[in-house]
Structure 1
Amino acid sequence: MTRIRPSGKTRIQREKRQAIFEAALDVFSEAGLRGATLDQIAARAGLSKPNVVYYFDGKEAIYRELLEELLDLWIDPLRQLSAKGDPVAEILAYVHRKLDMSRDMPRESRLFATEMLQNAPHIDDVLKGTLKALVDEKTGVIQGWVEQGRIAPLDPHHLIFSIWATTQHYADFDVQVRGVLGAAREEARFDEAKVFLTTMYERLLHPQDDAPRA
């Protein structure tokens, strides 16, 4: 569940705002901004529509604030990648954090994916600003590891893109994953994914003369 940062409001006001955000996250992750309505959000929150409008000036206002909070949360796992750690361990830890987010926060992942599919009209400046700056910083760290021979030669940007793709898939396409794996493997899908992705990235990252053997 996404927790919105506290504001200078009363406890009841904070609780109602949190209920609206939780309901909106459900609705937006299912229908997107265009398909969502204030009536749907109010119904999910257990509030009247006028009560929702009292706190937010329309669904766009809810969406923008929710997305801003989500973005900060969503890029935090990359912030934690440390230049001081072991390169393979640091990158694998990042993979695991991203996969855990897909398991624990599927609605947030789908909301973010929907915004991307619509050409990111509400966060384009963040993608080209805050996110780009962070990715540039961390790809610089990874490139340094490559040049030091501590990991195999690879393109740091495309490594990060591949991590996003292979981890967020389990949230954004969860119904497809569960459908293909079947009921018998449904509960274990994230554990299986972690084992597979760990093995795959270990083999990709280790320098050739130090590659783990199967």
Structure 2
Amino acid sequence: MSVTETRKLSRIQKERRKEILAAALDVFSRDGFRGASINTIAKEAEMSTPRLLYHFSGKEELYHELLKSVLLLWLGPLNQIDASGQPVEEILDYIRRKLRMSQHHPRESRLFASAVLLGAQRAHAEVFDSFRVIFDDKISLLSQWMDDGKLARQDPHHLIYSIWATTQHYADFEVQIVELSPEKMDSLFTDAEAYLVPMYRKLLTPDT
């Protein structure tokens, strides 16, 4: 086999792996790890199960590959909180980024939620070790801003948890929103930002 043919095969393999991972993301985000099967993922990817298993050893490997990529996506908005920025605006921008993630990456959000609820023990260190480093760093930053009087005094852990709860809800419980508020779907994220940003601004702005 020539070098050109080898490179072409490598590109084809990469494309196949991307197709399989996209299908696996659909299945895992919908069914969770326990509910997913390698046969379902193969069907979603429009290929035979043996052909899928040529590229990945099984659903465990697929799950871990997806978790690694989702973790990078998940940590991005938190990591972008800038210690040199204006504290209230930095957190409000973080909320906006989390809403955009829920809007544009709902499957990834649901996969991560599923991992935390059901499957984190399968990749506990892989998921939480990197997460904890950045989380602890931002908790320390929020605490310092509060000590400096730049943010109203809050429990920084619960502040972050509440931001996750109010932004990720739109992705993780999309089915519920569609059922309860179908008339809101066209402007859902615009309306969510218009509601959440003033609420958190009032919560975070220190008394003068």
TM-score normalised over the length of structure 1: 0.90
User: Residues of 2 paired with 1:123 and 1:47: CA distance?
Assistant: 27
Q: What residue number does 1:205 align with?
A: 204
CA shift at 1:38, angstroms? 1.3
Q: What residue number does 1:176 align with?
A: 176
What does 1:86-105 correspond to in 2, within 5 Å?
Answer: 86-105=86-105
Letter in 2 for 1:16: R
Q: Which range moved further: 122-131 or 20-29? A: 122-131
User: Residues of 2 paired with 1:113 and 1:53: CA distance?
Assistant: 26
Unaligned runs of 5+ in 2: 1-8
What does 1:57-68 correspond to in 2, within 5 Å?
Answer: 57-68=57-68
Letter in 1 for 2:201: E
CA offset digits 1:160-191 (Å, max 9, x no partner): 11111111000000111122222x22111111
Q: Which range moved further: 113-122 or 24-33? A: 113-122
Q: What residue number does 1:6 align with?
A: none
What does 1:118-157 correspond to in 2, within 5 Å?
Answer: 118=118, 120-157=120-157
User: Residues of 2 paired with 1:23 and 1:38: CA distance?
Assistant: 10
What does 1:184-195 correspond to in 2, within 5 Å?
Answer: 184-195=183-194
What SS does the corresponding residue of 1:187 show, helix, strand or coil?
Answer: helix
Unaligned runs of 5+ in 1: 1-8, 210-214
User: Residues of 1 paired with 2:105 and 2:167: CA distance?
Assistant: 12
What SS does the corresponding residue of 1:47 show, helix, strand or coil?
Answer: coil
Q: Which has the higher contact order (CA 8 A, sep 6+)?
A: 2
User: Residues of 1 paired with 2:46 and 2:126: CA distance?
Assistant: 33
CA shift at 1:35, angstroms? 1.2
Q: What residue number does 2:15 align with?
A: 15
Of Structure 1 and Structure 2, the greater helix share is in 2
User: Residues of 1 paired with 2:28 and 2:119: CA distance?
Assistant: 16
CA offset digits 1:82-106 (Å, max 9, x no partner): 0000001100111111110001011
User: Residues of 2 paired with 1:128 and 1:32: CA distance?
Assistant: 19
Q: What residue number does 2:83 align with?
A: 83
CA offset digits 1:36-62 (Å, max 9, x no partner): 111111111111111100011111111
Runs of 4+ in 1 over 3 A off after TM superposition: none
What SS does the corresponding residue of 1:175 show, helix, strand or coil?
Answer: helix
Q: Indicate how the Cα distance of structure 1 residues 52 and 127 shifts in structure 2: closer, same or farther if over 3 A, else same.
A: closer
User: Residues of 2 paired with 1:127 and 1:49: CA distance?
Assistant: 28
Q: Indicate how the Cα distance of structure 1 residues 51 and 127 shifts in structure 2: closer, same or farther if over 3 A, else same.
A: closer
User: Residues of 2 paired with 1:158 and 1:147: CA distance?
Assistant: 17
CA shift at 1:119, angstroms? 5.7
Q: Indicate how the Cα distance of structure 1 residues 126 and 160 shifts in structure 2: closer, same or farther if over 3 A, else same.
A: farther
